[in-house]
Structure 1
Amino acid sequence: MLGKLMRKKPIVQEVTMSDQIALLKSRKIPAHVAIIMDGNGRWAKQRNLPRVAGHHEGMKTVRKITRTASDLGIKVLTLYAFSTENWKRPKVEIDFLMKLPGEFLSTYLPELIEQNVKVEMIGNFSMLPDHTKDAIRKAMEATADNNGMTLNFAMNYGSRRELVESVQKIASLVAKGQLAIEDIDELEIESHLMTAHLPEPDLLIRTSGEVRLSNFMLWQLAYAELSFTDVLWPDFDELCMFEAIKDFQSRIRRFGSVEGEKEA
Structure 2
Amino acid sequence: MQLSLQTRNALRAASPFQTRRTAAPPCLRIRACTDPPAEGILPVPAGLRAESLPHHVAMIMDGNSRWARARGMPTSAGHAALQPALEETVRLSCARGIRVLTAFAFSHQNWDRPKEEVDFCMAVYNRFIQDNVAQFLRYFLFLKLILRPDNFSNRYKINFMLLAFSMPCSMNMMVSSACCKSETHYQGEEILMFCREGIRLRVIGDCSRLPTYLQKTAQNAEEETSSNSQHDLMLAIGYSGRTDILQACGKLARKVHSKLLRPEDIDESLFADELQTSWTDEFPCPDLLIRTSGELRLSNFLLWQSAYSELFFTDTLWPDFGEAEYLQALMSFQSRDRRFGKRKL
- Using the size of structure 2 for normalisation, the TM-score is 0.68
1:174 to 256, 277, 281: 256
Structure with more contact order per residue of length (Cα contacts < 8 Å, sep ≥ 6) = 1
The answer as to whether partners of 2:68 and 2:74 remain within 8 angstroms in 1 is: yes
Q: CA deviation at 1:235?
A: 0.3
Higher normalized strand content (fraction of residues): 2
**Where does residue 219 of structure 1 map in the other structure?**
304
SS in 1 for 2:277: coil
Secondary structure of the residue that 2:342 maps to in structure 1?
coil
Residue in structure 2 matched with residue 19 of structure 1 by the alignment: 43
Which residue is equivalent to 2:266?
A: 184
Take 1:142 and 1:180, find their aligned partners in 2: how far apart are those partners?
A: 37
1:69-115 Cα shifts (integer Å, max 9, x gaps): 01100000000011111101111110001111221122222222112
Q: CA RMSD in A?
A: 1.8
Find the counterpart in structure 1 of residue 169 from structure 2: none
2:102 aligned partner: 78
Picking from 231, 241, 248, the partner of 1:149 is: 231
Is the 8 Å Cα contact of residues 207 and 238 (structure 2) preserved in structure 1? yes
Residue in 1 aligned with 2:212? Answer: 130
Question: Structure 1 residue aligned with 2:338, among 248, 253, 259?
Answer: 253
What is the correspondence of 1:6-155 to structure 2 with a 5 Å cutoff? 18-20=42-44, 24=48, 26-115=50-139, 116-155=198-237
Verify the 8 A CA contact 1:101 1:135 in the aligned structure 2: no
Partner residue of 2:319? 234
Instruction: Please give the per-residue CA displacement for 1:236-261, whole angstroms capped at 9, x wherever unaligned.
Output: 0011111111111111100011128x
Structure 1, unpaired ranges of 5+: 1-16
Give 3-state SS (helix, strand or coil) of 1:150's partner.
Answer: strand
Deviation at 1:25, TM superposition (A): 5.2
Gaps of 5+ in 2: 1-40, 140-197
Whether contact under 8 Å (2:42, 2:96) holds in the other structure is: no
- SS where residue 151 of structure 1 aligns? strand
Structure showing the higher helix proportion among its residues: 1
CA distance in 2, matches of 1:23, 1:228: 20
Structure index of larger Rg: 2
Q: Which amino acid aligns with 1:170?
A: L
Q: Which amino acid aligns with 1:100?
A: V
For 1:90, the aligned partner's letter is: P
Residue of structure 1 in register with 2:15 after alignment:
none
SS at match of 2:126: helix
What amino acid is the match of 2:250?
Answer: Q
Supply the distance in 1 between the matched residues of 2:290 and 2:322 (Cα, whole angstroms).
13
Q: Note the C-alpha offset of 1:118.
A: 1.1
Q: CA deviation at 1:175?
A: 1.6
TM-score (norm 1): 0.88
**What is the identity, as a one-letter code, of the residue corresponding to 2:334?**
Q
Q: Deviations over 1:169-213 (max 9, x none)?
A: 111112222222211211121111111233111000000000000
